[in-house]
Amino acid sequence: MKKAKEVSAAPTSGPLKIRVDGKERAFDIENPTLPDWVEDNKLTAGGYPYDRKMKSEEYDETLEKLQIELVKAQAWLQSTGKRVMALFEGRDAAGKGGTIFVVRQYLNPRTARNVALTKPTPTEMGQWYFQRYVDHFPTSGEFVTFDRSWYNRAGVEPVMGFCTPQQHEQFLDETPHFERMISNEGIHFFKFWLNIGRETQLERFHDRRFSPLKSWKFSPIDVAGITKWDDYTEVRDTMFERTHKEFAPWIIVRANDKRRARLAVMRRILMSLPYDGRDLDVIGKEDKKLIGEGPSFLGKQD
């Protein structure tokens, strides 16, 4: 893949030509009417295994039960001094922020932090790449989530030309060593990739573009990325191959349905922590259609 040029902040001018399932489609983010081919496939895109969203009543009931378990897990962290760190990665509009919100919703914010860093400052640009992230690692008893992480260098940076090929390669080479140190330190470490289909992403972009409450989420980078789906797929697959390790596995969640995805993430965290009073019957079993580990979990359609 060739190094992309830096992206300007200019808005789109007319429909974008993109290829979906081998067909060339026109998509105009400025048109308030969503195309039928997006609307009809927004849930099932990318081989998603369900054709209907989880019912809200079932979701709300299960969510509350899992959130109660998370509160119990936090109490265990505080009493034992154990630490949790969870990274949330995925394409733009994959649902990272919403998932983090429900995970943290009822946790004590004094010991449950979310980290969402802006672009590096000039000082940070001159530091070791991982340094600014290490500053936010959990201390004793803390539960820390990252809304994007050092894996920016494995995704948006190489696609958009914000790093050199050499920097990208160095990152892929060094990251497993870095994460082995995290594991050896005894931190409960999770790396979640929320995977969505192409029509799913386009529908969510469109929703953000025309929502007065969500418009701040939509950026020129999102517009530029619409035509770079295959480039993002290429770097994602390379990232999985190079950084999926037994001590730091990639946990992949099919996330076209936000409700199912959020519950799947919460279950994995709860099933992995040996906290006092853990109720496995309440937590339930994982849906193997929705959650798995490593590159082999994703098929060609993803």
Domains, in order of start, for the chain:
16-297 (3.40.50.300)
**CA–centroid distance for 230 within its chain:** 18
In a structure prediction context, what are the per-residue pLDDT tens digits for the chain, which is 302 residues long?
A: 334 334 333 344 578 888 888 889 999 999 999 999 999 999 999 999 999 999 999 999 999 999 999 999 999 999 999 999 999 999 999 999 999 999 999 999 999 999 999 999 999 999 999 999 999 999 999 999 999 999 999 999 999 999 999 999 999 999 999 999 999 999 999 999 999 999 999 999 999 999 999 888 888 888 888 899 999 999 999 999 999 999 999 999 999 999 999 999 999 999 999 999 999 999 999 999 999 999 999 875 57
The model's pTM: 0.93
- How confident is the model at residue 301, as a pLDDT? 57
Kindly give the pairing relationship between strand 291-293 and strand 250-254: antiparallel
- How confident is the model at residue 300, as a pLDDT? 57
- How confident is the model at residue 292, as a pLDDT? 98
Q: How far is CA 266 from CA 2, 63, 85, 126, in A?
A: 38, 9, 13, 37
What number of residues does the chain have?
302
- How confident is the model at residue 146, as a pLDDT? 98
How close are the terminal C-alpha atoms of the chain, in Å? Answer: 19
Task: Report yes or no: 278 and 114 within 8 Å, Cβ to Cβ.
Answer: no
- How confident is the model at residue 15, as a pLDDT? 87
